Amino acid sequence: MKTLGTFLLALLHLSAFAKIISVKPGNHPTIKEAISIAIPFDTVNVEKGLFKEGNIIIDKPITFLGHNTTLDGENKFEIISVTSSHVTIDGFTIINSGVSGMVDYAGIKIKNKNHAVITNNILKNCFFGIYLQQAGSCIISNNSITGIKTEEQQSGNGIHCWKSAKLIIANNTITGQRDGIYFEFVTNSVIKNNYSHSNLRYGLHFMFSNDDTYLKNQFENNGAGVSVMFSHGVHMYYNRFNNNWGDSAYGILLKEISDSKILYNQFENNTSGIYMEGASRVQMSMNLFKNNGWGIKIQASCMDINVHLNNFTGNTFDVSTNGSLVLNSFNHNYWDKYEGYDLNKDKMGDVPFHPVSLYATIIENNPPAIFLFRSFITTLMDKTEKLLPGITPKDLLDENPFMQPIKL
């Protein structure tokens, strides 16, 4: 305790003597010179202008402050490398980092350090935008990251986080990168209020990352949607997954995840709203599945999936599977295809609903059958199911479907 008190007193002493070092274009000190002469907790204040100083290394705890200031990497350099904890970078336009198949050049890279704040920056045409490696307790907020490459191998991720913890990624806009936000081995972190759209592969891609929360983000028009793999303790609330179309595109792919909650999200206009494989102990409630090709595609390898109190409306197929779903539960959902009745007026149907149609089962086993969609044969099949419900696959039932949409 005495040691901690001594450390805090030392910090207060240093901050009391902190000064502001100003940098102007074409004058001395240069940015690198200013950082060199700064002491801990100084502010390096860089005036408006264009600066080409190669790789800028911040090796002490300072505030690095820009004012419509542009840092140009000239397509050769990593632009800012942070090698100290307690660094703030605020107010820069960072453009044209180097691109390499061997080195992960970034607009801003933080490696093996903690308590960084990266805020209010604009990054354009950087291989990786903001890159965190073995970082902790960092805040990445209010940044705009734009990539211009058209091929995945020429583009890195917008916000790339590896083996880090206690991060806050908030209020950023990411577009045109390989993956908008990438997490690998990241724990106890929060991603909130970000807009990740029109990225080459995933709007959000995370693997082996446990106990993270994703709140009020929008993932739209990404090459393959969102991918969540090999993780547990995933909490996704109030997110929007929209307009992710393609042969291998999903609103969200859930592969080998467990002990997670998917609540109050919107899945609209995707090839598949959710695709699940090898998932277990997942609660999915109060979500909207609207105008997707498939609302949910759930593989037979999933178990203990509870799909309750969701709205399914306007989907071509509400649910599809490649096997038995007896180990999962679908109950108290609203299905716009349900044509049952409610004689006791309890707002729930008196007869069960079969979300997996005969045609959906045929397509799952014979994908080319999709070309018969809206043909006379499929229309006849649908009418036959209604007259002879015994031919509908019985692996999945909603015993108590709602008659009207659930208020979400």
Distances from the Cα of 344 to the Cα of 1, 189, 245, 308, angstroms: 68, 47, 42, 21
Query: Residue 358: its pLDDT value, please?
Result: 56
Q: What does the alpha-carbon distance between residue 117 and residue 319 come to, in Å, rounded to a whole number?
A: 43
Q: What does the alpha-carbon distance between residue 7 and residue 144 come to, in Å, rounded to a whole number?
A: 36
pLDDT tens-digit readout, 315-335 = 988 998 887 666 889 999 999
Q: What does the alpha-carbon distance between residue 324 and residue 284 come to, in Å, rounded to a whole number?
A: 19
Lowest-pLDDT range of 110-124, 216-230, 377-391:
377-391
Q: What does the alpha-carbon distance between residue 183 and residue 162 come to, in Å, rounded to a whole number?
A: 6
Of 103, 152, 153, 158, nearest in space to 125 by CA: 158
Average per-residue pLDDT in the chain? 89
Q: Is the pLDDT of residue 383 over 60?
A: no
Phi-psi category of 336—alpha, beta or left, where left has phi over 0 and alpha has psi -120 to 50? alpha
pLDDT band at 153 (very low <50, low <70, confident <90, very high): confident
The tokens for 188 are 């106890």
Query: Residue 327: its pLDDT value, please?
Result: 82
pLDDT band at 365 (very low <50, low <70, confident <90, very high): low
Query: Residue 361: its pLDDT value, please?
Result: 60
pLDDT tens-digit readout, 169-188 = 999 999 999 999 999 999 99
Q: What is the DSSP letter of 370?
A: G
Would you call 211 helix, strand, or coil by DSSP? coil
Q: What does the alpha-carbon distance between residue 238 and residue 248 come to, in Å, rounded to a whole number?
A: 24
DSSP string across 297-338: EE-TT-EEEEEES-EEES-SEEEE-SS--TTSEEES-EETT-
Q: Which residues of 257-277 are buried (b: 16+ CB within 10 A; e: fewer)?
A: bbebbbbbbbbbbbbbbbbbb
